A and B are shown apart, each in its own frame.
Chain A
Amino acid sequence: MSSLCLQRLQEERKKWRKDHPFGFFAKPTKKADGTMNLQKWEAGIPGKEGTIWHEGVYPLTIEYPDEYPSKPPKLRLPAGFYHPNVYPSGTICLSILNEEQDWRPAITLKQICLGIQDLLDTPNPNSPAQEPAWRAFQKNKAEYERKVALQAKQYAK
């Protein structure tokens, strides 16, 4: 890991611990020897109140490449996560996480997490990443909402 990456991740951790949106959590994982792995984090994104997502806290893994912050982190929800913009592997399709689109090194973990919370309830129909959720979202809202609500219970706090 480059010193720039390390420095920035330490800064991100400090900032997050001091100020993060309510209900979210994010922390570096531990390596096998018990030391902290700053390049891989575990996080939880609560569904927004007043939406069909609100019951759940959705687990997220964040992997920072060595080139971070020049390159964006890679974010994954659990494999098979039901959302139009989440690939079957769990990888999230979001423009601010795409190096060739809207990623900027100044984007913070807090902004990313809030961006994902926002994406949960406002999927981007122009960037489908999985077929079932995308199709239901486009054509069968009742089915979509039923499945999202069920998933929310699965990830209930």
Chain B
Amino acid sequence: MSNIQEVVRLIEALYSPGATVDVNQIQHQLQAIQKSADGFQLANQLLVEPSFGPNVRYFGALTYAVQLHAGTASHEALWGLFRANLVHLARLCGQYTADPRANAPLMLAIKKLMSNLSLIFININESDHPSELAAAVTHWNNPINTFVRLLAMYSQNSMAAGGWTDIDNPELVQLLLQAINCEVGYDELLKFVAAAPATNELALVFTEIVIEDLTKYQSRKHSVTNVHQMVHTHLYISTMALLNINLTLQLSHHAPQSKLGVSDTVFNCTTAWINYITMTRHLASGASMDLSEIFQNLLNVMCQSTEQTDGFHIAEKVLAIFGNVFANDPTVMSFELRQQCEVIFLGISRLANANVDTSRNAWMLQYMNYLVTNELTTELKDLAICIVDYLQISNLDVCNKLFTTVHSNDAAVSQEYIRVLLQMTNFPLLPVQQEFFSVRMVDFWADLADSYANLPNEVLLPNSTQIGIDIFQQVINIYLPKISLENKKKIIEEDEHDESAVHEFDDFRSAVIDLSQSLWSILGNQFLTNILIAGVGSADASQLPDSGKTEGFFQIEAMAYLANSLMTDMTLSQSPWIQQILAKNKFFISNVLLLFQLGIQMEVTNKTTMLLKIDMVRTSTHMIGTLAGHLKNSAQDLSQCIETLFQGLDSCSRNTSPNKELNDKIEVMVIKAISIVCDVCREQLSQQYLDNFINVFSSLLQPESTVSGFTRGRLAKSIGYIIECRVQNGPEEQAKYIVQIMDMIETFIHQSLAAPAEGQFYRKDYVLNLLTCISEFGSAMIHDEDFEHPLLVQNLQQFHEFWTADPFMCRKKLLALIGSIMSNNLYNKDSSVVEVCCLILGKALTLPDEDPHFLRFPMADIMNVVLKYIKVVELGTALPFFIYLLERLVIQYKNDFTPDQFDFLFNELFITYYQNVISRDPDLLQMTVNFVVTLLDRAPRLILTSNSFATFMIPEFMKLLPSNEKFTIVAITKFWTKLINNRKYTQEDLQMARQAILANGQQLVYQTMYGLYHTQRSDLNSYTDLIRGLVAKFPMETKTWLVNALPQICDKPSTHETFVNKLFVTRGSRAAGSVILSWWLECTSLPSY
């Protein structure tokens, strides 16, 4: 760089807003200078010249930082940096204090110099060889003392010592050495603070920067120890004095305006120090640093803060500090101080004998009143968080005092304390939007309930149960109106675009669910669930006057919402309690259904109605689903529920509103409730509702119906549950229903297939959906032990024989239909269609032999479909589904398969397509190998006796051993390992497998070792398992094979020899893994890690 002016020009260009220059290039240029040997001198020049602007000076300070962080400087150079930063700091601070307003831009450079000095402070005190730094500086105990002294020296005569610009000036160096570890007494510090607000501010900023940097440094896991000790002994003392002087003198006596200016600096510094002390007090090296005086002063200044003096600005700042303490490490504040906080916050103390000065609570009430009146909701929320965090600290203590004999406490005080907390919870404003106390108090009450529930019986007060019931019932009563949709409505209406408030409200409702579940363990059904059920169902909601109708249903919704969460895990079908309580509250179910209908019918005109509709339908459908166990025992309620749910579904299917997403959402909720009821009440529904169900299903199957594929599938399954239970009149009657359903679906499919070609394209998804309905229907017809009908068990054989004969030709018709679909090029190229066809064909393949099922296709039928249509499908995407089907088929009929049949099938499905399709696609390759591995495990004889084993599997799978694809490696090594070591083998199988290995062993070992040598480290384990198998099962042969194979792989004879020797010592145990790894590392010359 030619001269200093050029550098200055570049710096100004770099920092000028909207610069058109190439910033990256300038940065590179300047960084090169900063890191160079000239950087130090350049920084000096930039900081000294008074005509340079603040950016240039800042850049000078930054250059020192670069030199410091480079860490390449000699000790002498470090001492130079130390001197330079101190000298420039003193001079710039001197200039700043002379006229703070005019020289405010200097703060940028001043703060950077302070930050440099904080790093030097850490380095000097942590250095192992401090004596090398400079003869006189072996440590630096207190940056604040140094700063105070230097500033005093500078202000006494700024023109002395070469004008405080030449850092090598001997006189100046002498001054620095005097200042570095000087002692500054309290009086001197007081004088310094009182001298000018600017000097005070600078000292506060300096100590804040030092301690923040140290906190950051420590949190990056740097092991610092000495410096913490140094801080504790020196800097902590000075800073506490500085802060306390500020809090007691400055804040108490300054005029309001200047109070605001200083207060931010004081509070920022205080926060930084609390964070530092909180972090270090748990470290082994951290000595205890008390903050009591600071906290006491903070409490005092907080309570002096008023609307008139500072608009409660100081109160906000102090509360933010306390909030931080209570949230992170409350015990950093002493018990006595926390007790003072309690009285301020609540106007009461838990200690019966406490000398409570409630006047300070009056200040708090005044502050709250100010926040509420001025709608300062953010500040009110911060206050709520702070107070509830405080309350959480003493939660266990509150619990003990209320419910146990552990403390000899005054019951009245505890009760009064709880009354205050209940009042606070019931803060009379809109939760989330206007007040946050009720939201945060959920955690407090939940913890109190948990603590109470965990108390041992022997310490409980005799009346603790009653106390608990009284308190927690009040809590629930407070929250019920709070979580009402009425409040959600107001929140949405406040600002339709503010999603976060709505989300927060939803979270609040979820939190109250958790709370109610915790409270249930104390209140039980008697004092909680019953009350909620009574709230929902003691009066007929249809009689609500129009004026209060919506609000009435919102109340019902809130209570049903909580009741549902409590009843979800109950086995209502066997519960006399639910019968009794519903008998007492005869409108419960009808009111829930009214809520459902109201939600369904609610016209969606805006976001508010849309969200409320969803909530109302969700709560009511969840409740109906939960009640399914009860509906089993109540024909009338079941009838009412099913009818209403179907009306709702019907309304969804006729809904042509543009809001499809909303409609879909509602539809899913309704069909899920229907599905649960059908599943649980299948037997009851099978008696009289089956025909109705089939009619509804028929109408929803129509291509014109707007219901989703998901709904059709779930309904098909639901009907399946009911038909599965229709066994009382023997298999024929059940079969008629099955055939009716199948005919219905098949007819619609045939109609679609017969449609003109262009129409068919649009109906492809519809046909796929109808096929899925068959599959779902088939799944529901799988015998479920949980719903085992005694008549079916008794007549199992009869049903089995019926479906074996299949007199209605159900399977034949379905096979023909599948044939039509699979012959159609539009469908057979779609892998989803192939997948569902395979699912239908394989539906009954995993069932026990004696279980009847209308989809139990004979082996030959499935094979025919597979063999016929494999030729027309897109193999790349459809083959996996055929493989899945074949795997199930072979496993199911393994005893019926002859080796010839297997060979034929294997040839048609795999060998025919191997070279041109399968071997080119790692996924198909993996599936093919895995298919063989599965059969090796489930039916090894089929593999070992097939012709393909010797002619195809052995040679082809041998070639795959050295593969690049991880998945191929995993599959292929699994095959060989399984072939070598298989517990399912008979003696005969074992002989065949051994012969195969012995015949191919040499090549197998060569291919394995070649593959291993060329593989990645992450794939070594796959090969290791195979080699272990060989060593364990064929020790003698493998040794010879290895000795022959290894020299062909790489030329490392001694490595190979060591490997072979060590490997056979392991006998194929786990230890072989490390031997193989060592060989691989040595052969590939890769480092071990």
The listed residue with most B CB atoms (<10 A of its CB), out of A25, A150, A156, is: A156
* Pair B832/A143 contact, Cβ less than 8 Å: yes
Q: Is A35 an interface residue (CB 8 A)?
A: yes
Q: Which of A127-157 contact B (CB under 8 A)?
A: 128, 131-132, 135, 138-140, 142-143, 146, 150, 153, 156-157
At the interface with chain B, which of A16-24, A65-73, A77-85?
A: A16-24
16 contacts between A and B (CB under 8 A): A18-B443, A22-B504, A22-B506, A23-B506, A25-B510, A34-B453, A34-B521, A55-B665, A55-B668, A132-B880, A140-B877, A142-B832, A150-B709, A150-B710, A153-B668, A157-B618
A142 to B709, CA, bound (A): 16
A150 to B772, CA, bound (A): 12
Measured CB to CB, the closest approach of chain B to A61, in angstroms, equals: 16
* Pair A139/B877 contact, Cβ less than 8 Å: yes
Known pairs A17-B511, A140-B877, A153-B710; A22 contacts B831 (CB<8 A): no
CB contacts (< 8 Å) of B733 on chain A: these are none
Give 10 closest A-B pairs by Cβ, nearest first: A22-B503, A153-B710, A156-B668, A17-B443, A153-B668, A140-B877, A135-B923, A34-B521, A143-B832, A143-B831
* Pair B504/A146 contact, Cβ less than 8 Å: no
Measured CB to CB, the closest approach of chain A to B516, in angstroms, equals: 13
* Pair B503/A23 contact, Cβ less than 8 Å: yes
Known pairs A36-B450, A138-B923, A139-B876; A22 contacts B507 (CB<8 A): yes
Q: Is B259 an interface residue (CB 8 A)?
A: no
A13 to B507, CA, bound (A): 15
CB contacts (< 8 Å) of A20 on chain B: these are 507
Q: Is B927 an interface residue (CB 8 A)?
A: yes
A79 to B174, CA, bound (A): 76
Interface membership of chain B positions 671-714, coded 1 if the CB is closer than 8 angstroms to chain A and 0 otherwise? 01000000000000000000000000000000000001110000
CB contacts (< 8 Å) of A14 on chain B: these are 392
Residue of A nearest to B768 (CB): A146
* Pair B967/A128 contact, Cβ less than 8 Å: yes
A131 to B923, CA, bound (A): 9
Measured CB to CB, the closest approach of chain B to A16, in angstroms, equals: 10
CB contacts (< 8 Å) of A131 on chain B: these are 880, 926-927
* Pair A35/B454 contact, Cβ less than 8 Å: yes
CB contacts (< 8 Å) of A74 on chain B: these are none
Q: Is A8 an interface residue (CB 8 A)?
A: no
Residue of B nearest to A153 (CB): B710
Residue of A nearest to B884 (CB): A132
CB contacts (< 8 Å) of B166 on chain A: these are none
Q: Is A27 an interface residue (CB 8 A)?
A: yes
Known: A17-B511, A156-B665. 15 other contacts (CB 8 A): A14-B392, A18-B443, A25-B510, A34-B453, A35-B453, A131-B927, A139-B876, A139-B923, A143-B831, A143-B835, A146-B832, A150-B710, A156-B668, A156-B669, A157-B618
A136 to B1021, CA, bound (A): 27
Q: Which of A1-59 contact B (CB under 8 A)?
A: 14, 17-18, 20, 22-23, 25, 27, 34-36, 55
Name the one of A35, A135, A142, A157 contacting B880, with C-beta atoms under 8 angstroms.
Answer: A135
Chain B contact-residue range equals 20 to 34
A94 to B720, CA, bound (A): 39
Chain A contact-residue range equals 20 to 34
CB contacts (< 8 Å) of A142 on chain B: these are 832
Measured CB to CB, the closest approach of chain B to A143, in angstroms, equals: 5
Residue of A nearest to B503 (CB): A22
CB contacts (< 8 Å) of A55 on chain B: these are 665, 668
Measured CB to CB, the closest approach of chain A to B366, in angstroms, equals: 28
Q: Is B310 an interface residue (CB 8 A)?
A: no
A157 to B509, CA, bound (A): 14
Q: Is B290 an interface residue (CB 8 A)?
A: no
Q: Is B342 an interface residue (CB 8 A)?
A: no
CB contacts (< 8 Å) of A132 on chain B: these are 880
Interface membership of chain B positions 440-455, coded 1 if the CB is closer than 8 angstroms to chain A and 0 otherwise? 0001000000100110
Q: Is B851 an interface residue (CB 8 A)?
A: no
Q: Which of A108-138 contact B (CB under 8 A)?
A: 128, 131-132, 135, 138
CB contacts (< 8 Å) of B887 on chain A: these are none
Residue of A nearest to B520 (CB): A34
CB contacts (< 8 Å) of B669 on chain A: these are 156
A35 to B510, CA, bound (A): 20
Q: Is B1019 an interface residue (CB 8 A)?
A: no
Interface membership of chain A positions 95-112, coded 1 if the CB is closer than 8 angstroms to chain B and 0 otherwise? 000000000000000000
CB contacts (< 8 Å) of B316 on chain A: these are none
CB contacts (< 8 Å) of A128 on chain B: these are 967
Measured CB to CB, the closest approach of chain B to A7, in angstroms, equals: 11
A138 to B877, CA, bound (A): 11
Measured CB to CB, the closest approach of chain B to A9, in angstroms, equals: 14
Measured CB to CB, the closest approach of chain A to B842, in angstroms, equals: 14
A135 to B504, CA, bound (A): 39
Q: Is B514 an interface residue (CB 8 A)?
A: yes
* Pair A156/B510 contact, Cβ less than 8 Å: no
* Pair A140/B831 contact, Cβ less than 8 Å: yes
Q: Which of B795-811 contact A (CB under 8 A)?
A: none
Measured CB to CB, the closest approach of chain A to B571, in angstroms, equals: 16
Residue of A nearest to B923 (CB): A135
A27 to B832, CA, bound (A): 38
A140 to B392, CA, bound (A): 53
Q: Which of B143-174 contact A (CB under 8 A)?
A: none
Measured CB to CB, the closest approach of chain A to B178, in angstroms, equals: 45
CB contacts (< 8 Å) of B327 on chain A: these are 18
Q: Which of B810-831 contact A (CB under 8 A)?
A: 831
* Pair B672/A156 contact, Cβ less than 8 Å: yes
CB contacts (< 8 Å) of B514 on chain A: these are 27
Residue of B nearest to A128 (CB): B967
Measured CB to CB, the closest approach of chain B to A13, in angstroms, equals: 10
A94 to B672, CA, bound (A): 31
Q: Which of B460-499 contact A (CB under 8 A)?
A: none
Measured CB to CB, the closest approach of chain A to B673, in angstroms, equals: 12
A14 to B654, CA, bound (A): 47
Residue of B nearest to A44 (CB): B510
Measured CB to CB, the closest approach of chain B to A18, in angstroms, equals: 7
CB contacts (< 8 Å) of A36 on chain B: these are 450
A35 to B710, CA, bound (A): 39
A4 to B169, CA, bound (A): 56
Measured CB to CB, the closest approach of chain A to B721, in angstroms, equals: 17
A25 to B710, CA, bound (A): 26
A157 to B510, CA, bound (A): 12
Residue of A nearest to B711 (CB): A153
A14 to B876, CA, bound (A): 51
Measured CB to CB, the closest approach of chain A to B830, in angstroms, equals: 9
A128 to B971, CA, bound (A): 14
CB contacts (< 8 Å) of B618 on chain A: these are 157
Interface membership of chain B positions 501-527, coded 1 if the CB is closer than 8 angstroms to chain A and 0 otherwise? 001101100110010000001000000
Residue of A nearest to B672 (CB): A156
A146 to B450, CA, bound (A): 44
A66 to B453, CA, bound (A): 25
CB contacts (< 8 Å) of B877 on chain A: these are 139-140, 143
Residue of A nearest to B708 (CB): A153
Measured CB to CB, the closest approach of chain A to B659, in angstroms, equals: 15
CB contacts (< 8 Å) of B831 on chain A: these are 140, 143
A156 to B500, CA, bound (A): 21
A41 to B507, CA, bound (A): 18
Q: Which of B913-946 contact A (CB under 8 A)?
A: 923, 926-927
CB contacts (< 8 Å) of B450 on chain A: these are 36
A17 to B506, CA, bound (A): 14
A140 to B507, CA, bound (A): 37
The listed residue with most B CB atoms (<10 A of its CB), out of A20, A35, A143, A153, is: A153
Residue of B nearest to A24 (CB): B507
Residue of A nearest to B880 (CB): A135
Measured CB to CB, the closest approach of chain A to B217, in angstroms, equals: 17
CB contacts (< 8 Å) of B453 on chain A: these are 34-35
CB contacts (< 8 Å) of A156 on chain B: these are 665, 668-669, 672
Residue of A nearest to B877 (CB): A140
A153 to B510, CA, bound (A): 21
CB contacts (< 8 Å) of B967 on chain A: these are 128
